[in-house]
Amino acid sequence: MNISKLLRIVCISCIMTIMVLSSISFSYATTSSELKRQQQNIDAQINKTNSEIAGVKSQMSDNLNQINKLNAEISTYENEITNLETRIGSLNNDIEAKEVSISEQEKKYAIQKDLLDKRLVALYESGSTSYLDMLLSADGLAEFISKYYTIEQLAEADEELLAKIESTKKQIEDEKNSLENAKIEVENSKTAVVGKRNSLASSRNEKSNIVNQLSAEEAALQEQLEEFEKDKKEIQAELAALAARSSVKDTVAPSAAGYISPLAGKTKGSITTGYYGYAGHTGVDFACGSGTPIRAVKAGTVVTSKALRRPNGQYKSYGEYIVIDHNDGTMTLYAHMSSRAVGPGVSVAQGQTIGYVGSTGNSTGPHLHFEVRVKGSCVNPTPYLP
């Protein structure tokens, strides 16, 4: 039995079960608590069906599971290489700045040293005359006081000059040590990049060998998964760029996020699929009926409202999705909608309906995929939800 037939059987079983449960609900429910209980039963059945579908997929193809694992490795290596190259660029900029600073400090040191040398020559040429001799040679109290203050100023100037020379010398030594450490880190980072590139090439080669062994059906599914990962990366870059342009530098702590649930009557306890990071599941899922209103979890501005489609018009990856910038360093993403109720640039209030639950894109059934982004990057949404 192929994956399509298995999925159809599971989905038909789900639909029939939901219809039976729904029929029972509407026939016998007499109180709101009974309705709520029966709704929980329906949600539990949907969750069970989603788990069955996931099980069918995992049993169907070890090759696909291995490819997904390799995709995660490849993504990790790519991110690590990017981070290392960014760090190398930053270190090289620091090295240039330190070299300029050292050059300036050495010029300053040379000037200070020249002043000290001239001062020592002057003292030598003055012979053995001491400060005490100068004071005793004064004619009267007024000249004595005048010479005293002159001597005091000379002594302070000498002391200040010596302190500056010592400080400048220490700063040069510290910056040279820092410069050497930065150069060592650059070389270590370059070595690490070579290692990561080798690992990346190895993972890509292993993936290529497995892809060549896929059946036509598996290859079609793999193409969709690859497409979804590509779209996620593009969205990640887009949101990171938006966050970088934002004037807000810090985000609200999760405990003070002030979010409501994106679905009325749902809490974090209603999550059917959890978060497990980039190149995996970058948000959380709430299984629920198609057409259920989706709410803005917090006031903000819609920065993205679009449908991701293939050239033939079919939905892909997130399908119909929306991103809201909450102007506090966080953004939220709502995906797989049946339709969107707001467009880009629109200001939304907390609790406002922004769209409706659907199953567009890379989805096996009606549900809401919900993400939280901090400065453009995915984080676990669970702590932000009630």
pLDDT digits (tens, 9 = 90+) for 46-97: 454 444 434 444 444 677 778 878 888 887 888 888 888 888 988 888 888 8
Percent of the chain with pLDDT over 70: 69
- Can you tell me the distance from the alpha carbon of 346 to that of 324, in angstroms, rounded to the nearest whole number? 9
Least confident range from 3-7, 71-75, 289-293: namely 3-7
Q: Is 169 exposed, middle or buried (0-12, 13-18, 19+ CB in 10 A)?
A: middle
* Average pLDDT value for the chain: 76
Residue range 10-16: mean pLDDT, rounded: 42
- With cut-offs at 50, 70 and 90, classify the pLDDT of residue 136: low
Residues 372, 330 contacting (CB under 8 angstroms): yes
- Can you tell me the distance from the alpha carbon of 360 to that of 348, in angstroms, rounded to the nearest whole number? 23
* 243 has pLDDT over 80: no
Q: Tell me if residue 330 falls in helix, strand or coil.
A: strand
Question: Cβ–Cβ contacts within 10 Å for residue 242, how many?
Answer: 17
- Report how far apart, in Å, the C-alpha atoms of 159 and of each of 93, 131, 150, 154 are: 36, 15, 14, 9
- Positive or negative: CA dihedral 87, 88, 94, 97: negative
One-letter identity of residue 23 = S
Pick the CATH number of 222-386 from 3.40.50.300, 1.10.8.10, 2.70.70.10, 3.90.550.10: 2.70.70.10
Q: Where are the domains of the chain?
A: 83-196, 222-386
Question: What is the DSSP track for 353-385?
Answer: EEEEEB--SS-SSSEEEEEEEETTEEE-SGGG-
pLDDT score for 225: 75
Residue range 257-277: mean pLDDT, rounded: 86
- Positive or negative: CA dihedral 265, 358, 377, 271: positive
One-letter identity of residue 48 = K
pLDDT score for 303: 95
- Can you tell me the distance from the alpha carbon of 161 to that of 152, in angstroms, rounded to the nearest whole number? 14
Q: Which residue has the higher pLDDT, 238 or 37?
A: 238
